[in-house]
Amino acid sequence: MKRLALLLLLSGCSKPPEAEPLAFQSLGAFEYKDKMKLPDDVARWNGRTVKATGFMNPTSQARNLTTFLLVKDRSSCCFGKRPQINHYIEVKLKPGTTADYSSDPVTIQGVIKVDDRWDGDWQLGLYWMEGVEVLK
Amino acid sequence: MILALLFLLQDSAKLVQEIEYANSKDKPQFHVQAMRKLKDRGGAAVAEEILRFVAKNGHNAVSIAFTEGLGDLKDARLTALLRELVRDKDFLWRPTAMRALADAADRGSLDDFRAGLGDKLWGCRAASILALEKLGDKSSADVIRGLLADGVYDVRAQAARTLYAFGDSAGLPVLIEALRADTVWFGIDYGQIAREDAWTFLKSVAKDDFGYKPWETAEQRAPGLAKAEAWIAKTIPDWRDRIPEKARMRATAVEYVFGFERRSCQRGDFFFRLDKEGSLVVGYFTLEKATLTPEELRDFNAALDKVKRVDRSIPYGQGGCDFEQYYVADGPKFDRLWIGVAGRPAPVEPFTRTVLELLRKKFGERVAEEFRQSSDLFRMSE
Tell me whether A66 touches chain B (CB under 8 Å): no
Q: What is the pLDDT of residue A81?
A: 63
| Mean confidence (pLDDT) of chain A | 84
Give the C-alpha distances (Å, rounded to integers) separating A61 from B89, B315, B321, B344: 26, 10, 12, 15
Of B26, B37, B65, nearest to A82 by CB-CB distance is B65
Q: What is the pLDDT of residue A121?
A: 86
- Contacts of residue B216, defined as CB under 8 A and 6 or more positions apart, other chains included, come to none
Is A46 domain-assigned? yes
Tell me whether A120 touches chain B (CB under 8 Å): no
**Cα–Cα distance between B367 and B353 in angstroms, integer?**
14
Q: What is the pLDDT of residue A100?
A: 92
**Cα–Cα distance between B122 and A79 in angstroms, integer?**
15
Per DSSP, the residues of B136-171 read: T-GGGHHHHHHGGG-SSHHHHHHHHHHHHHTT-GGG
Domain ranges of chain B: 1-104, 256-378
Q: Tell me the CATH number for domain B256-378.
A: 3.30.1560
Reported confidence tier of residue A5, pLDDT bands at 50, 70, 90? low
**Cα–Cα distance between B337 and A37 in angstroms, integer?**
44
Is A40 domain-assigned? yes
Q: Which positions in chain B touch A57 (Cβ < 8 Å)?
A: 319
Task: For residue range A55-95, list pLDDT tens digits in order.
Answer: 888 767 789 999 998 988 766 655 556 678 898 999 999 99
Of A62, A79, A103, nearest to B317 by CB-CB distance is A62
Of A63, A69, A123, nearest to B33 by CB-CB distance is A123
- Three-class SS state of B377: helix
What residue of A is the nearest CA neighbor of B340? Answer: A62
Pairing relationship of beta strands A122-134 and A88-93 according to DSSP bridges? parallel
Q: What is the pLDDT of residue B142?
A: 98
Least reliable range by pLDDT among A12-21, A86-95, B133-142, B176-185:
A12-21
Reported confidence tier of residue B30, pLDDT bands at 50, 70, 90? confident
Number of domains present in the structure of chain A: 1
Pairing relationship of beta strands A49-57 and A67-71 according to DSSP bridges? antiparallel
Is A10 domain-assigned? no
Q: Which residue has the higher pLDDT, B2 or B316?
A: B316
Task: For residue range B282-298, list pLDDT tens digits in order.
Answer: 987 777 889 999 999 99
Q: Please check whether residue A109 is in contact with residue A51, taking contact to mean a CB–CB distance below 8 angstroms.
A: yes
**Statement: residue A9 has pLDDT above 60:** no
Q: What is the pLDDT of residue B374?
A: 82
Is A117 domain-assigned? yes
Is A12 domain-assigned? no
Reported confidence tier of residue A130, pLDDT bands at 50, 70, 90? very high
Q: What is the pLDDT of residue A26?
A: 80
Is A63 domain-assigned? yes
Q: What is the pLDDT of residue B337?
A: 94
Handedness of CA B236, B240, B245, B250 (dihedral sign): positive
Q: What is the pLDDT of residue B290?
A: 94
Whether residues B33 and A122 touch (CB distance < 8 A) is answered with yes
**Cα–Cα distance between B203 and B327 in angstroms, integer?**
36
**Statement: residue B223 has pLDDT above 90:** yes
Q: Which residue has the higher pLDDT, B246 or B228?
A: B228
Q: What is the pLDDT of residue A29?
A: 85
Share of chain B above pLDDT 90, in %: 67
**Statement: residue A7 has pLDDT above 60:** no
Domain CATH number, residue A27: 2.40.50.870
Q: Which residue has the higher pLDDT, A26 or A35?
A: A35
| Mean confidence (pLDDT) of chain B | 91
Q: What is the pLDDT of residue B161?
A: 98
Whether residues A62 and B325 touch (CB distance < 8 A) is answered with no
Q: Which residue range forms the structural domain that includes residue A37?
A: 17-134
First vs last C-alpha separation in chain A: 43
- Three-class SS state of A55: strand
- Which range is most confident: A58-67, B17-26, B264-273? B17-26
Q: What is the pLDDT of residue B272?
A: 93
Of A79, A90, A122, nearest to B30 by CB-CB distance is A122
Q: In what order do the strands lie in the sheet with B333-341?
A: B287-291, B279-283, B270-275, B256-264, B318-330, B333-341
Task: For residue range B34-68, list pLDDT tens digits in order.
Answer: 999 999 998 899 999 999 999 999 999 998 889 99
Q: Which residue has the higher pLDDT, A6 or A19?
A: A19
Task: For residue range A12-32, list pLDDT tens digits in order.
Answer: 555 667 889 998 778 888 989
Task: For residue range B80-108, list pLDDT tens digits in order.
Answer: 999 999 999 889 889 899 999 999 888 99
Q: Which positions in chain B touch A123 (Cβ < 8 Å)?
A: 33
Backbone φ and ψ of B210, nearest 5°:
60, 5
Chain B residues 337-356 within an 8 A CB cutoff of chain A: 338, 340, 343
Tell me whether B323 touches chain A (CB under 8 Å): yes
Q: What is the pLDDT of residue B224?
A: 97
Q: What share of chain A is helix, strand, coil (3-state, %, to 5)?
A: 20, 40, 40
